[in-house]
Chains A and B, each alone.
Chain A
Amino acid sequence: MNWMKAIVCMSGISCFMTACSLDNYEAPTSAIYGSFIDQETGELIEQDIVRGTQIEYQEGRFVANQYMVVKPDGTYRNNLLFNGVYKFTPVRGNFEPIDPVTVEITRDTKLDFQVIPFLRIKHVSIFKNGNKVKAIFRIQQTGFDNVLKVGLYAGADKAAGATVNQSAVEIPVGATVSEDQSFTIEMDIVNNPRLKKGFTYYFRVGAVIDAPEAKFNYAPAVELTL
Chain B
Amino acid sequence: MATATSCNKLDLKPLDKLDGNAMFSDPQGVKLYMANLYYQLPIEDFNFMRGGFNDWIGENMVSAHFTDEAVHSNYLDFLTTGNFHWWEQGYKLIRDVNIFSDAIPQLRVSEDEKNKMRGESAFIKAYTYYALAKRYGGVSIIDSVQKYEGDVEVLKVPRSTEKETWDFVMTQCDIAIQHLPETWPGGERRATKWVAAALKTRAALHAASIAKFGDRAVLSGEAVSRKLVGIEKMYANDYYRQVIDAANLLMENGPFALYKPNPASPEEAAENYRKMFEDPSVAPEEAIFIKGFTKVDLGHNYDIYYNPAQTANGWPHPGRINPTLEFIDLFESYAQPGQSSPIRTSAAANDITDYSGFNPAKNYYRFDHPSDIFEGKDARLWGTVILPGTQWKNTEIVIQAGFIKPDGTPQIMEGNPYTHTDGKTYHVFGSSDRTQYSGFDSYGGNYTRTGFSFKKFLDQRIPVVYGYSKGLTDYIDFRYAEVLLNFAEAVVESGITDNNAVAKATAALNAIRKRAGHTQDIPLTVENVQRERRVELAFENKRFWDLMRRREYHTLFQNTIMHALLPVVDLRVTPAQYIFIRTEVPRGWRYTFDPRQYYRYIPGIGSNGLVQNPQY
Which residues of A are in contact with B by a Cβ distance under 8 Å? 1, 4, 50-51, 54, 63-65, 67, 91-92, 162-165, 168, 191-193, 212-213
Q: List 9 A-B contacts (CB under 8 A).
A: A1-B58, A50-B592, A50-B594, A64-B612, A164-B592, A165-B559, A193-B356, A212-B218, A213-B220
Q: Which residues of chain B are near A50, meaning CB under 8 Å?
A: 592, 594
Partner of A193, one of B355, B559, B616: B355
Verify A192–B612 contact, CB threshold 8 A.
Answer: no
Verify A92–B354 contact, CB threshold 8 A.
Answer: no
B6 at the interface (CB under 8 A from A): no
Q: Once bound together, how far apart are the Cα atoms of A71 and B355, in whole Å?
A: 32
- Nearest chain B CB to A152 CB, angstrom units: 14
Q: Once bound together, how far apart are the Cα atoms of A200 and B452, in whole Å?
A: 35
Q: Which residues of chain A are near B595, meaning CB under 8 Å?
A: 213
Verify B354–A63 contact, CB threshold 8 A.
Answer: no
Verify B220–A191 contact, CB threshold 8 A.
Answer: no
Q: Once bound together, how far apart are the Cα atoms of A192 and B353, in whole Å?
A: 11
B333 at the interface (CB under 8 A from A): no
Partner of B606, one of A1, A54, A64, A212: A64
Q: Which residues of chain A are near B583, meaning CB under 8 Å?
A: 193
Contacts A50-B592, A163-B558 known; 9 new A-B pairs at CB < 8 A: A1-B59, A63-B606, A65-B612, A92-B220, A163-B559, A164-B559, A165-B559, A192-B356, A193-B583
Q: Which of B217-246 contact A (CB under 8 A)?
A: 218-220
Verify B558–A193 contact, CB threshold 8 A.
Answer: no
Which single residue of chain A is at the shortest CB-CB distance from B606? Answer: A63
Verify B592–A163 contact, CB threshold 8 A.
Answer: yes
Which single residue of chain B is at the shortest CB-CB distance from A193? Answer: B356
Partner of A51, one of B59, B220, B592: B592
Q: Which residues of chain A are near B594, meaning CB under 8 Å?
A: 50-51
Partner of A64, one of B355, B559, B605: B605
Q: Which residues of chain B are near A63, meaning CB under 8 Å?
A: 605-606
Which single residue of chain A is at the shortest CB-CB distance from B590? Answer: A164
Which residues of B are in contact with A by a Cβ distance under 8 Å? 58-59, 215, 218-220, 354-357, 558-559, 583-584, 590, 592, 594-595, 605-606, 612, 615-616
Q: Once bound together, how far apart are the Cα atoms of A67 and B594, in whole Å?
A: 15
- Nearest chain A CB to B78 CB, angstrom units: 12
Q: Which residues of chain A are near B59, meaning CB under 8 Å?
A: 1
Q: Which residues of chain B are near A92, meaning CB under 8 Å?
A: 220, 615
Q: Once bound together, how far apart are the Cα atoms of A147 and B595, in whole Å?
A: 20
Q: Once bound together, how far apart are the Cα atoms of A212 and B590, in whole Å?
A: 24
- Nearest chain B CB to A59 CB, angstrom units: 14
Known: A65-B612, A212-B220, A213-B219. A191 touches B356 (CB 8 A): yes
Which single residue of chain B is at the shortest CB-CB distance from A155? Answer: B559
By DSSP majority rule, is chain A's interface helix, strand, loop, or mixed?
loop
Q: Which residues of chain B are near A212, meaning CB under 8 Å?
A: 215, 218-220
- Nearest chain A CB to B348 CB, angstrom units: 11
Verify A191–B218 contact, CB threshold 8 A.
Answer: no
Known: A50-B592, A65-B612, A212-B220. A162 touches B356 (CB 8 A): no
Q: Once bound together, how far apart are the Cα atoms of A162 and B616, in whole Å?
A: 22
Known: A64-B612, A92-B220, A191-B356. A168 touches B58 (CB 8 A): no
Q: Which residues of chain A are near B559, meaning CB under 8 Å?
A: 162-165, 168
Which single residue of chain B is at the shortest CB-CB distance from A5? Answer: B58
Q: Once bound together, how far apart are the Cα atoms of A212 and B558, in whole Å?
A: 16
Q: Which residues of chain B are near A162, meaning CB under 8 Å?
A: 558-559
Verify B357–A193 contact, CB threshold 8 A.
Answer: yes
Q: Once bound together, how far apart are the Cα atoms of A212 and B230, in whole Å?
A: 14
Partner of B354, one of A4, A64, A164, A191: A191
- Nearest chain A CB to B402 CB, angstrom units: 16
Q: Which residues of chain B are near A191, meaning CB under 8 Å?
A: 354, 356
Q: Which residues of chain B are near A164, meaning CB under 8 Å?
A: 559, 590, 592
Q: Which residues of chain B are near A165, meaning CB under 8 Å?
A: 559
Q: Which residues of chain B are near A168, meaning CB under 8 Å?
A: 559
- Nearest chain A CB to B272 CB, angstrom units: 36
- Nearest chain A CB to B554 CB, angstrom units: 9
Q: Once bound together, how far apart are the Cα atoms of A63 and B222, in whole Å?
A: 13
Q: Which residues of chain A are near B584, meaning CB under 8 Å?
A: 193
Q: Once bound together, how far apart are the Cα atoms of A147 and B500, in whole Å?
A: 42
Q: Which residues of chain A are near B616, meaning CB under 8 Å?
A: 65
Q: Once bound together, how far apart are the Cα atoms of A51 and B594, in whole Å?
A: 7
- Nearest chain A CB to B615 CB, angstrom units: 8
Q: Once bound together, how far apart are the Cα atoms of A4 and B51, in whole Å?
A: 15
Q: Which of A1, A54, A165 has the most CB of B within 10 A?
A: A1
* 3 pairs of A and B residues whose beta carbons are closest in the complex: A212-B218, A1-B58, A193-B356
Q: Which residues of chain B are near A193, meaning CB under 8 Å?
A: 355-357, 583-584
- Nearest chain A CB to B219 CB, angstrom units: 7
Q: Which residues of chain A are near B354, meaning CB under 8 Å?
A: 191
Q: Once bound together, how far apart are the Cα atoms of A91 and B596, in whole Å?
A: 13
Verify A4–B356 contact, CB threshold 8 A.
Answer: no
Q: Once bound together, how far apart are the Cα atoms of A213 and B594, in whole Å?
A: 11
Q: Which residues of chain B are near A163, meaning CB under 8 Å?
A: 558-559, 592
Q: Once bound together, how far apart are the Cα atoms of A63 and B615, in whole Å?
A: 14
Q: Once bound together, how far apart are the Cα atoms of A193 and B58, in whole Å?
A: 36
Q: Once bound together, how far apart are the Cα atoms of A63 and B605, in whole Å?
A: 9
Q: Once bound together, how far apart are the Cα atoms of A4 and B219, in whole Å?
A: 38
Verify B218–A213 contact, CB threshold 8 A.
Answer: yes
- Nearest chain A CB to B506 CB, angstrom units: 32
Q: Which residues of chain B are near A67, meaning CB under 8 Å?
A: 615
- Nearest chain A CB to B323 CB, angstrom units: 21
Which single residue of chain A is at the shortest CB-CB distance from B60? Answer: A1
- Nearest chain A CB to B124 CB, angstrom units: 32
Q: Which residues of chain B are near A213, meaning CB under 8 Å?
A: 218-220, 595
- Nearest chain B CB to A3 CB, angstrom units: 11
Which single residue of chain A is at the shortest CB-CB distance from B594? Answer: A51
Q: Which residues of chain A are near B605, meaning CB under 8 Å?
A: 63-64
Q: Once bound together, how far apart are the Cα atoms of A63 and B355, in whole Å?
A: 49
Q: Once bound together, how far apart are the Cα atoms of A51 and B593, in whole Å?
A: 10
Which single residue of chain B is at the shortest CB-CB distance from A214? Answer: B218
- Nearest chain A CB to B434 CB, angstrom units: 20
Which single residue of chain A is at the shortest CB-CB distance from B215? Answer: A212
Q: Once bound together, how far apart are the Cα atoms of A213 and B219, in whole Å?
A: 7
Q: Once bound together, how far apart are the Cα atoms of A128 and B559, in whole Å?
A: 24
- Nearest chain A CB to B568 CB, angstrom units: 16
- Nearest chain A CB to B609 CB, angstrom units: 9
Q: Which residues of chain B are near A1, meaning CB under 8 Å?
A: 58-59
